[in-house]
Structures are given as C-alpha cells and as structure tokens.
C-alpha cells in the first residue's frame, strides 16, 4: 500500500508541477500584460520554452519520476501498477535511492517554488495569513499569488 | 486572479493515498450546504443530451459509449456526469477542500473556487504530497511481498475509483467468463468540462466562464485561457 502511494504521489506531484510551470504561468508572460510592473519578471521566468523556470523544473520533475521506476519497475507507464500492489519488492539500497529523491524534491520545492520550508508553508491557515506570508517573499508560488489578471 | 472563474460550488473526492488509518486525502462531497458530507457513489449518472453520443443507461455500470455525430442539440464529445443530478468540480482544490486543509478551506469560504484558489490548491497539495512521500518511504517494510494477486476474476460488476492529478477518475467494468463484457470510464476533465445536461445546466467550466469580461479580444481573451487552464484540462482523447 505504501509503495503504491509513493508511485501514485510521484506521478500526481509531477503533473501538478508541469501544470503550474509549463501550462498555467506562461500565460502571464504574454504581451497582454506588458503594461504591468511584474511583466518583465514573469516573462523572463515563465515565457514558453524560453523562461528560466523550465531549466529548474524539468530536471526536478524527471528526478521525481524516477520513483516510478524504483517502485513499479517500469518507467513511465502507470499501467505497470497492479490492482493488488506494485510490481517489485523494495530493498535497502532502493529505499536509500527513494529517500534521496524525496529529499531532492523537498529541496526543489523549498528553494524554487516556496522559498520557505514545507512545514512553514503548510502552517499557513487563512487567506490573510497567506497575504502576510507572501509579502516580500521570493519563490514562484508567492509571485503567482500576487498576479493580477486582465480581461483584454 | 481571484475574480476570475468562480465555480458552481459543489466538489468531490474519491479519496487518495490509503493507509492503515484511512486515507491521507479522504473521500467526500463538498455539498450544496458548503459542508463536507459522505459521497453518495450510487448517485453518479451520465447525461448525453448535449453530447454527440447515443442515449443509453444513465448508470455508468450499464451505459455504453456510441458516437452520434449528427445529433442536433449536441456540441461536445464529452458526456455530462452528474452526482445526484448536479455538476461537480474535481481536482486538487476539491481534494483539499474535502480534506479540510486549513488554507484552502478558508480561501474557498471567502471566494469559492476560482483561478487563483485552484492554482494555490495545486501547490499546497504538492507540498503535502512531498512530506507524505518522505514518511511512506521511511515506513516501507523492505523485501516484502509487493502484490496480492488474484488468479481469476469471477463474473460480476467492478468499480475502480482513484484520484488522478486532475481529479476523480472512475472505471466501471463487467466481467463474464473471464472476459471484459463492458467497460466505462468517467475521467476528471469529463466532470469539469461536461456540457449541459437535460435541465440545461452547464458543467463547472461553463459556469466558471459565465460573466467573464473579455473586452475587445472576444474569444481570444487571455482571461478565458486563465480560466480554462486553471482546471488543468485533458481533452485530447475525450470520447467518454
């Protein structure tokens, strides 16, 4: 059950990162936002295929998906899962490799995405606390929370 | 971003990441009274009144998926799944609302589901998943049997429910004489992007788009793209 959770979680977290960095944020690098003060920053960070964020997120995502290979024994296709479990046993060496991947993933989230520890991020419990937390903070999450959209 | 893409309100999760003490993200419905309720799974139906699909049973365990490309009132290849007759939003914001995650619950109580809250929910969920993966990895029992295999599949009906990244994914299957007799899938984007039902009620995306100020750009407005993308849609092979 835990091994199934690890493989499932690795894939879902990778999808969330792909959505945020590759699908959603590049819209804020569009010319429609050229008049906004934050446009230069979002363009350099998120412009489709050219932004600096892709250089950070793509290796982090690929590393995370190695969990699938270790647990399910077959990268990347999730049909390798069986209803009753996973496809192979995990030994001590593989647990060490899994831990180094989860540690690297946490480090990516804490340095690049949140600019804070995961524990601090998850302690934010209200909209007003979020506003106080992100005030003056770096990281892509705080940047995205402060964006204003236009309709034309 | 919080002014864009206000959703219809109801959300659900099939429950994700099972453990001996239950699920990390529990199963449930964020219902019409904005409270967490048990999920009435037997109330899931499929409406094809506006889909290019031939009518069959409304029950996914008995329905079929037969295209009808000349159907006059239709405008989508997507069926309209409903729970107790209502459209339901699924995805990270639904999972974290049903799970009672403090920040997401507060944001939803202040401004409902919208573009900003959906994006925040996805990253807050990613933080929770990262912590859980560390704990699961440390708790793994090493070199143990890894799969409980069953040799035969008896005749009968089977339902598989899981939370994919984009939301609630259900498979309904019937088996006879060791072979698959019937197979239906309701995918997350089918819930979120469902067309209107026979009561002319649109799905979550349609309702979120209503009232969007598109200015002079019309259908090319970037606001529409923000709203559509905030659902993380997957429509490439939509034929469910």
Walk me through the domains of chain B, giving residue ranges and CATH numbers.
11-230 (1.10.645.10)
> Which tokens in the block code for residue B8?
């219809």
Q: What is the pLDDT of residue B209?
A: 95
Query: Could you tell me which residue, B166 or A75, shows the higher pLDDT?
Result: B166
Kindly determine whether residue A9 and residue B17, on different chains, have CB atoms separated by under 8 Å.
yes
Phi-psi region of B68 (alpha: psi -120 to 50; beta: other; left: phi over 0): beta
Give the 3-state secondary structure of residue B61. Answer: coil
Interhelix angle B115-139/A92-108, rounded to 10 degrees, is: 150
From the list B132, B213, B216, which residue is nearest A9 (CB)? B132
Q: What is the pLDDT of residue A122?
A: 98
- Residue B34 C-alpha, separation from nearest chain A C-alpha, in angstroms: 17
Neighbours of A50 (CB within 10 A): 11
Kindly determine whether residue A105 and residue B127, on different chains, have CB atoms separated by under 8 Å.
no
- Residue B230 C-alpha, separation from nearest chain A C-alpha, in angstroms: 7
Kindly determine whether residue A27 and residue B229, on different chains, have CB atoms separated by under 8 Å.
yes
Confidence band, pLDDT 50/70/90 cuts, at residue A147: confident
Q: What is the pLDDT of residue B1?
A: 78
pLDDT tens, A84-103?
A: 888 888 999 999 999 999 99
* Share of chain A residues as helix, strand and coil, in percent rounded to the nearest 5: 70, 0, 30
User: Considering only CB atoms, which chain A residues are within 8 Å of B223?
Assistant: 149-152
Kindly determine whether residue A151 and residue B221, on different chains, have CB atoms separated by under 8 Å.
yes
Closest CA to B61 of B188, B186, B223, B235: B186
Confidence band, pLDDT 50/70/90 cuts, at residue A151: very low
Q: What is the pLDDT of residue A68?
A: 87
pLDDT tens, B107-124?
A: 999 999 999 999 999 999
Interhelix angle A2-18/B115-139, rounded to 10 degrees, is: 150
Q: What is the pLDDT of residue B76?
A: 94
Closest alpha carbon within chain A to B117:
A145
Closest alpha carbon within chain B to A33:
B222
ipTM exceeding 0.90, yes/no:
yes
> Which tokens in the block code for residue B155?
């005749």
Pairing mode of beta strands B28-30, B16-19? unpaired
CB-count burial class (<10 Å; 0-12, 13-18, 19+) for A132: exposed
pLDDT at A148 over 80: no
Which of B18, B127, B223 is best to mutate for the A interface (most A CBs within 10 A)?
A: B127
Residues in contact with B10: Cβ distance below 8 Å, sequence separation at least 6, in sequence order: B29, B30, B31, B32, B83, B86, B87, B88, B89
Q: What is the pLDDT of residue B239?
A: 63
pLDDT at A9 over 50: yes
Q: What is the pLDDT of residue A140?
A: 96
Kindly determine whether residue A106 and residue B24, on different chains, have CB atoms separated by under 8 Å.
no
Q: What is the pLDDT of residue A108?
A: 97
Kindly determine whether residue B103 and residue A124, on different chains, have CB atoms separated by under 8 Å.
yes
Task: Count Cβ–Cβ pairs < 8 Å, chain A vs chain B.
Answer: 189
- For chain A, the average pLDDT equals 90
User: Considering only CB atoms, which chain B residues are within 8 Å of A46?
Assistant: none
Closest CA to B167 of A78, A62, A15: A15
From the list A5, A30, A114, which residue is nearest B17 (CB)? A5
Closest alpha carbon within chain B to A80:
B147
- Residue B193 C-alpha, separation from nearest chain A C-alpha, in angstroms: 17
Confidence band, pLDDT 50/70/90 cuts, at residue A76: low
B239 touches B67 (CB < 8 A): yes
Taking each continuous run of H as one helix and of E as one strand, the counts in chain A are 7, 0
Q: What is the pLDDT of residue A80?
A: 63
Q: What is the pLDDT of residue A74?
A: 64
Predicted TM-score (pTM) of the model is 0.94
All residue ranges of chain B with pLDDT < 70 are 238-240
Q: What is the pLDDT of residue B7?
A: 84
Kindly determine whether residue B226 and residue A27, on different chains, have CB atoms separated by under 8 Å.
yes
From the list B130, B137, B223, which residue is nearest A151 (CB)? B223
Residue % of chain A over a pLDDT of 70? 92
Closest alpha carbon within chain B to A64:
B130
Summarize the confidence of residues A116-141 as an average pLDDT: 96
């Amino acid at each position: 059950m835990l091994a199934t959770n690890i493989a499932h979680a690795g894939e879902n977290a990778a999808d969330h990162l792909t959505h945020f960095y590759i699908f959603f944020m590049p819209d804020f690098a569009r010319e429609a936002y050229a008049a906004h003060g934050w446009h230069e920053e979002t363009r350099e960070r998120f412009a489709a295929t050219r932004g600096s964020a892709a250089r950070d997120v793509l290796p982090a995502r690929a590393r995370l998906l190695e969990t699938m290979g270790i647990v399910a024994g077959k990268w990347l296709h999730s049909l390798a899962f069986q209803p009753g479990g996973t496809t192979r046993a995990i030994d001590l060496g593989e647990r060490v490799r899994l831990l180094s991947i989860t540690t690297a993933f946490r480090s990516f989230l804490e340095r690049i995405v949140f600019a804070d520890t995961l524990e601090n991020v998850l302690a934010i419990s209200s909209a007003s606390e979020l506003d106080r937390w992100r005030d003056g903070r770096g990281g892509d999450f705080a940047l995205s929370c402060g964006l204003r959209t236009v309709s034309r | 971003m919080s002014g864009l893409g206000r959703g219809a309100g109801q959300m659900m999760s099939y429950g994700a990441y099972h453990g001996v003490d239950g699920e990390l993200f529990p199963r449930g419905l964020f219902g019409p009274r904005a409270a967490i309720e048990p999920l009435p799974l037997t109330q899931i139906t499929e409406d094809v009144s506006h889909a290019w699909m031939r009518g069959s049973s409304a029950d996914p365990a008995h329905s079929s998926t037969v295209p009808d490309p000349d159907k006059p009132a239709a405008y989508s290849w997507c069926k309209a799944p409903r729970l107790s007759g209502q459209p339901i939003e699924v995805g990270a914001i639904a999972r974290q609302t049903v799970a009672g995650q403090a920040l997401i619950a507060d944001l939803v109580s202040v401004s409902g589901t919208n573009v900003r809250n959906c994006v925040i929910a996805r990253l807050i969920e990613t933080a929770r998943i990262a912590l859980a993966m560390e704990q699961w990895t440390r708790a793994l029992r090493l070199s143990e049997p890894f799969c409980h295999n069953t040799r035969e599949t008896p005749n009968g009906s089977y339902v598989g429910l899981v939370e994919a990244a984009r939301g609630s994914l259900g498979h309904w299957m019937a088996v006879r004489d060791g072979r698959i007799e019937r197979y239906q899938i309701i995918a997350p984007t089918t819930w979120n992007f469902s067309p209107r039902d026979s009561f002319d009620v649109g799905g979550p995306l349609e309702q979120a788009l209503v009232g969007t100020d598109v200015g002079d750009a019309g259908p090319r407005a970037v606001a529409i793209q923000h709203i559509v993308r905030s659902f993380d849609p997957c429509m490439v092979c939509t034929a469910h």
